[in-house]
A and B are shown apart, each in its own frame.
Chain A
Amino acid sequence: MSPPASTEPPATPVPSPSLGLEIRGVSKAFPNVQALSDVSLEARSGEILAFLGENGAGKSTLLKVINGDYQPDIGTLTLDGQPLRFANPLDAHRAGIRVIYQEPEIIPGVDVAENICVGELPGRGGFVDRRLLETRVRADLDRYGFSAALPMGLMGDMLSPAQRQLVEIMRAIKSNVRVLALDEPTSSLTDDEVQRLFALVRRLRDEGVAIIYVSHRIREILQLADRVAILRDGRLIAVRPAADLTEEEIVRLMVGRDLTAMFQRRRAVTDRVVLRAEHIASNWHHDVSFYVRAGEVVGFAGLVGAGRTELAKVVFGELPRDSGSVFVDGRLVSIRRPSDAVTEGIGYAPEDRKREGLILMRSVLENASLAVLQRLSRFHFIQRRMERRLAGEYIERLRVRTPSLEQEVGKLSGGNQQKVVLARWLAAKPKVLILDEPTRGIDVGAKAEIYHLIDDLANQGLGVMFISSDLPEILGLSDRIYVMQNGRISGELPGPGATEEQVLALAMVDHLSRADPVPKSTAPEEGLAG
């Protein structure tokens, strides 16, 4: 299947000077990895072009070439007919190209208003003019409907992933953009926020901006995009109008094979309660009680900021608990720090892989075996052969795309990094596994594999606490669902048979009358946990 760009209709003359960004024959290699080979396509002004492809297919690399972070090995870029040559991202910004990355860069010690206007703070005699700054930022936020989701005075390090994303988007659209590229912008947004973002993106398109949109959410792409480009192993496989494509077809093009049913659950719920939390109260919670049985997948649904991640961290000993008790296998346990929780048989795969999951400069192997070091060691010596076997098994099952187990984790693509964190905890096989947004940023093929693994683990008698903002996966996978809202459990539903409407109703009961809309930090100083 060849991209339409390469078929040359000899009769028709060259189309009038194409507006927008033109990518011609771009290749980019890293040691042992050909990230892009000979990619040609154009992002037209006033059009939304979506990139789809498996983890490691080269989507982010292509955006980094467009943004001037990487120079292509060969190939050219032209914008509105002008050839481009970027030495660095600043050049790209000057030319009107903005790329919003998977991991936005936020300055921790500065509030939202200043983060949005970084580099262009309105000044008066060397001082920042706060009032002017705030009026401007407020106007922008109001215009796009984000003022509730993004309180202006919040400090950078207090922002949730969703809010970080919004800051980055606000930064970009403030300046004069010609090409706006978004790398998985919705992976940490709620449905509501997604719809608002879409409205914003459509509006920019209608204003004549060329939009490039990268996502693993196929349904979203069909809803939003005008054209879809599919990448596989660094090559462009197809570029088609979105209207001509169906979900199944996209999956087939992406993965190169048909996927069987995504959610297949065998019921394995037993009577044994592996994890029970009673009357948990903390900075973030009021009197939360729940339980997880062996062989059970318990979904935790709710809006971003409802306190699900914090609940996991309180149980895991990472965040302080004011009162309440935790039982593992019916035994009251004292968990004062995460290592206690791991000793008791609880595992936690965090949602924020870069900050909380990975040692970026260390190898895939070291990261994957980190939670099982003790089990792998004899007299403190790591049994290397066993380590390779154990880590390798899950790296392979999750299809982590890496040249070797020795590769630095920081050099993997975003989705593959996420898989390494999962591999770590799947290899650890605790009694209870807490998965916090495990499929964020992961391609369909690997998602199906992860669902499969979760089902396997439940069958082996593990209890799974499954936190996700993706309703279909919560509904498709859970035996039981807790819905959280503003630091409380607002309802419990049986997994099979529950509907999206039921969950949403519980998630938003008194959403609008929330007393304290300012979410608290989820990234405490180290000292808090001790």
Chain B
Amino acid sequence: MSEAPAGEVDGPATPPISPFRTALARVASVVRPVVRFIGAENLSLVIVLAIEIAVIVSQTKFFLGQQNLLNSLGQNIAVLGVLAVGESLVIIAGALDISVGSIAGIAGVAAALVVTGTGSMQLGLVAGIMAGICAGLVNGSIVAFLRVNPIIATLGTFAAFRGVAFLIAPNGYPVGVGTQPDFTWLGSGRILGGGGFVGIPIILIILIFVAIVGHVLLRYTDFGRSIYALGGNATAARLAGINLTRVRLGMYVFCGMTAGLSGVLLAARTTSGSPLNGQGMELQAITAVFLGGAATTGGKGTVVGTVLAVLILGVLSNGMNLLGVQQYWQDVATGMLLVTSVAIAQFRALRSERARTRIASRG
């Protein structure tokens, strides 16, 4: 704390460097860049994930199998992961998009219709993503131009988009794409397989790609900075000359785009463009973003955190499946995980910031 210069003079000038400390320094030099990438604020997520995996591995040997890791787990988290990356941007900007599950529904049907019509996987993919972008534009316009509260706005489109998904599906029936191997390859294909290795799922590669795009966007571009600024203090961001209308439109379009893509992936994986696809996924995506450390008030959060949270949720449900735990218990566990993690974060924030409860405590 306070330096004592007089004492220093008598002490040994250079303490002998112990081999232990050099080893420690070497470890630290390896760990530091990793930690910097993950972000110090995400370390607790890594720890939770590690504990979770340790517990599951101690209970079942199936968890670490290639088939399980790359197939069941990898493919399951991908659809949600893509959705959650887009949702992250919106939540960090202090807003919300409840309609992403419905957008995924529209995109799945649209993609399936185009694929069955043209036989082209690429056109189907583009159609799904375009549908998502359009839906995002609708959300963004309502929020940015009509100034409707984001929760209300996307609660409205949550219902409306689901209706649209049924309207564009012929007679409201799912559009089967089982006869389109090119398209279903997006959902269940693998590359680099062979020699005992099952291969890396395409869908996982897409997730990694989307996550990198989201990460770069948030961290290295003026758009990303504007999103943090908008979420942290909208008035200050506006007075600093940021065009909030443009930022709001942009982030909803990006979110719509990822929702569209995840709808396409879901259709490809389930071999069906069903208007019911994606139901309930908006809640999982929002859960993942908050679990990943985004502040409820906006201005804080990372894509890395979100992806880690998606992993935590995925491993939890995968592990419970392997252990034969009922779905209901899985839902209970997911809910508890979210509430406890946010409560812990809140508690820590309260303690580290000065707990200024002057007014509240008097009331």
Contact = CB atoms under 8 A, between A and B. Distances in A.
A362 B354 contact: no
B235 A38 contact: no
Contacts of B232: 359-362
Given A37-B2, A527-B147, 16 more contacts: A34-B1, A69-B354, A73-B1, A90-B361, A105-B358, A107-B359, A118-B362, A118-B363, A339-B241, A356-B235, A359-B237, A361-B295, A366-B228, A370-B225, A376-B222, A380-B222
Contacts of A530: 147, 245
Given A29-B1, A381-B220, A381-B221, A370 B357 contact: no
A357 interface: yes
Interface string B344-363: 00000000001111110111
Interface string A15-42: 0000000000001010000100110000
Interface in A346-404: 347-348, 350, 355-362, 366, 369-371, 373-374, 376-377, 380-382, 384
A244 interface: no
A89 B225 CA distance: 36
B248 to A, nearest CB: 11
Contacts of A356: 235-236, 239
B190 interface: no
Interface in B219-242: 220-223, 225-226, 228-229, 232-242
Contacts of A29: 1
B299 A373 contact: no
Nearest to A27: B1
A417 to B, nearest CB: 11
Nearest to B235: A356
A404 to B, nearest CB: 14
12 contacts: A89-B356, A90-B362, A105-B356, A105-B358, A118-B359, A355-B235, A356-B236, A357-B236, A370-B229, A370-B240, A373-B242, A526-B238
Contacts of A338: 238-241
A380 B223 CA distance: 7
B98 to A, nearest CB: 21
B327 interface: no
B153 to A, nearest CB: 14
A70 interface: yes
Nearest to B225: A373
Shortest beta-carbon contacts, A-B, top 3: A342-B241, A119-B362, A359-B232
Contacts of B299: 359, 361-362
Nearest to A318: B239
Contact of A370 (B221, B242, B358): B242
Interface in B36-60: none
A373 B246 CA distance: 15
B239 A119 contact: no
Nearest to A428: B241
A29 B355 CA distance: 17
Given A73-B1, A89-B361, A382 B222 contact: yes
A355 B238 CA distance: 12
Interface residues of B, number: 37
Contact of A373 (B226, B234, B300): B226
Contact of B221 (A88, A357, A359, A382): A382
A362 B363 contact: no
A277 B228 CA distance: 34
Contacts of A527: 147
A482 B228 CA distance: 38
A64 interface: yes
B120 interface: no
A424 interface: yes
A145 B233 CA distance: 36
Contacts of A366: 225, 228-229
B321 interface: no
A342 B237 CA distance: 12
B243 interface: yes
A380 B354 CA distance: 37
Nearest to B360: A119
Given A357-B239, A366-B225, A382-B225, A526 B234 contact: yes
A337 interface: yes
Contacts of A350: 239
Given A359-B232, A366-B228, A527-B147, A374 B359 contact: no
B220 A88 contact: no
B289 to A, nearest CB: 17
B94 to A, nearest CB: 11
B221 A380 contact: yes
A8 interface: no
A209 interface: no
Interface string B192-224: 000000000000000000000000000011110
Given A361-B295, A362-B229, A90 B357 contact: yes
B239 A70 contact: no
A443 B225 CA distance: 31
B146 to A, nearest CB: 10
Contacts of B357: 88-90
A34 B3 CA distance: 11
A84 interface: no
Given A118-B362, A360-B233, A526-B235, A339 B242 contact: yes
Interface in B1-43: 1-2
A271 interface: no
A395 B295 CA distance: 28
Nearest to A99: B358
A89 B234 CA distance: 30
A529 interface: yes
A247 interface: no
A516 interface: no
B222 A377 contact: yes
A359 B225 CA distance: 11
Given A120-B362, A359-B299, A360-B232, A337 B225 contact: no
B361 A370 contact: no
Contacts of A381: 220-221
A105 B361 CA distance: 13
Nearest to B220: A381
B236 A526 contact: no
A341 interface: yes
A505 B196 CA distance: 91
Contacts of A316: 239
Contact of B220 (A38, A358, A374, A382): A382
Contacts of A377: 221-222
Contacts of B221: 377, 380-382
B258 to A, nearest CB: 18
A145 B361 CA distance: 29
A27 B2 contact: yes
Contacts of A362: 228-229, 232, 299
Contacts of A120: 362
B272 to A, nearest CB: 38
Contacts of A89: 356-358, 361
A70 B235 contact: no
A495 B339 CA distance: 61
Given A374-B222, A530-B147, A318 B238 contact: yes
